[in-house]
Amino acid sequence: MKASHRIAGIVAVVVSSVLLIAFTYIYDWFPTQLTPASGKIDNLYKLLTAVSIPFFVIIVAFMVFCVLEFRVDPSDPPDKDGEPIHGSTKLELIWTGVPLFIILLLGIYSWIVLDQVEAKQKNPLLINVTGQQFIWNYEYVKDGAEKVDVKTSGDLVVPVNKPLEFRITSLDVIHSFWVPAARLKRDATAGVVTPLRFTPQKTGSYDIVCTELCGVGHATMRGKLKVVSKADWVKWLAGQKGGKPGGGTGGGGPDGKSIFTSNGCGGCHKLAAANGAGTTGPSLEGNGISAAQAREGIVDPGAKLATGFPNVMPATFGKSLSKEELDALVMFLVESGK
């Protein structure tokens, strides 16, 4: 290899590394930073990318160099092979020591960031998150020491600047609870409860996404995290309490519409009367369903499948709903099906 070629190669490696690293830091490629944790994770991500870039460039450059430098010469015999090489202590020390040092430093830095991000906060709003095919269900348990006891599904409404503590689990297969604006995600696994904490600091509407392939409706397992002012949240909460199953309005019994909403039925079924917009399961509008059919569809969903729809509805509702709740839901579905 000519000396001028070697110098050109080294210059190309240095220049492209510097340009790519500059791009990493200058170009704004992250979504809104919803929490203090978001900024810390973005910085960690940028550093990890910046450190990886020179290695990527050097490896690709060396590959190109080898392809050019050691290509077969037409005059060579077909079985020509290079000289064998045996060991080089110096090289081995370098390629073990340097990566070890870098990985340890990055590992310690990541540990520090993770420790800060996951730190417990005072008086959090405690929310149980339960994934099920194909919706997220939420149970507001406590606001600091105060009991809340409200259930919703699909969208999550929270007050701004309030530390949130989620306890995440699943009813069926593995899901993964992801809030990109908070940069945090956690698997939801049946039988295991895992915590996740962050404090949203900007009002607005942010995506909640399931990031674990969990079945045919996986792509529709989405919702919004609505961060609102404290006053709006208190108002919203009061409205939820009035309409919750068996609550509020003076012993009217469970309300079919709330049961439909809080059990996530709208995640798969279209039903405008209860804001259901899902398409994974059959529409429940104007289907003229009878009480017996509705009941069977809930308790034993695999018994009679609507044409063109797979057998994916959880068969757990017969157990998880009380007799009164089931009756109210059946009545609501018959009414809405008319």
Q: Under the rule (CB under 6 A), what is the footprint of ligand CUA?
A: 131, 134, 175, 210, 212-214, 218, 221
| Shortest Cβ 226–ligand CUA spacing (Å) | 20
**Residue length, the chain?**
338
Instruction: State the helix-helix crossing angle for 323-337 and 291-299, rounded to 10 degrees.
Output: 130
Closer residue to ligand CUA (CB): 220 or 283: 220
Residue among 48, 49, 41 at smallest CA distance from 198: 41
Which H or E run includes 261? helix 256-262
| Shortest Cβ 127–ligand CUA spacing (Å) | 18
| Shortest Cβ 214–ligand CUA spacing (Å) | 3
Closer residue to ligand CUA (CB): 106 or 315: 315
Closer residue to ligand CUA (CB): 139 or 296: 139
CB proximity list for 161: less than 8 A, separation 6 or greater: 199, 200, 201, 230
Sheet holding 204-210, edge to edge: 156-159, 222-228, 204-210, 175-179, 184-188
Closer residue to ligand CUA (CB): 57 or 214: 214
**C-alpha separations of 26 from 137, 180, 276 in Å:** 39, 20, 42
**C-alpha separations of 297 from 102, 161, 195, 261, 332 in Å:** 58, 42, 34, 17, 14
| Shortest Cβ 220–ligand CUA spacing (Å) | 9
| Shortest Cβ 329–ligand CUA spacing (Å) | 23
CB 260 within 8 A of CB 244: no
For CA atoms 23, 116, 189, 237, the dihedral sign is negative
CB proximity list for 215: less than 8 A, separation 6 or greater: 133, 134, 173, 312
| Shortest Cβ 15–ligand CUA spacing (Å) | 43
Closer residue to ligand CUA (CB): 47 or 216: 216
Closer residue to ligand CUA (CB): 209 or 299: 209
| Shortest Cβ 291–ligand CUA spacing (Å) | 31
| DSSP line for 35-88 | SHHHHHHHHHHHHHHHHHHHHHHHHHHHHHHHHHHTPPPTTS-TT--PPP----
Amino acid residing at 111 = W
Closer residue to ligand CUA (CB): 175 or 226: 175
| Shortest Cβ 176–ligand CUA spacing (Å) | 7
SS3 of 101, please? helix
Q: What b/e string do you get for 19-34 counting C-beta neighbours within 10 Å, with b at 16 or more?
A: ebbeebeeeeeeeebb
Closer residue to ligand CUA (CB): 110 or 220: 220
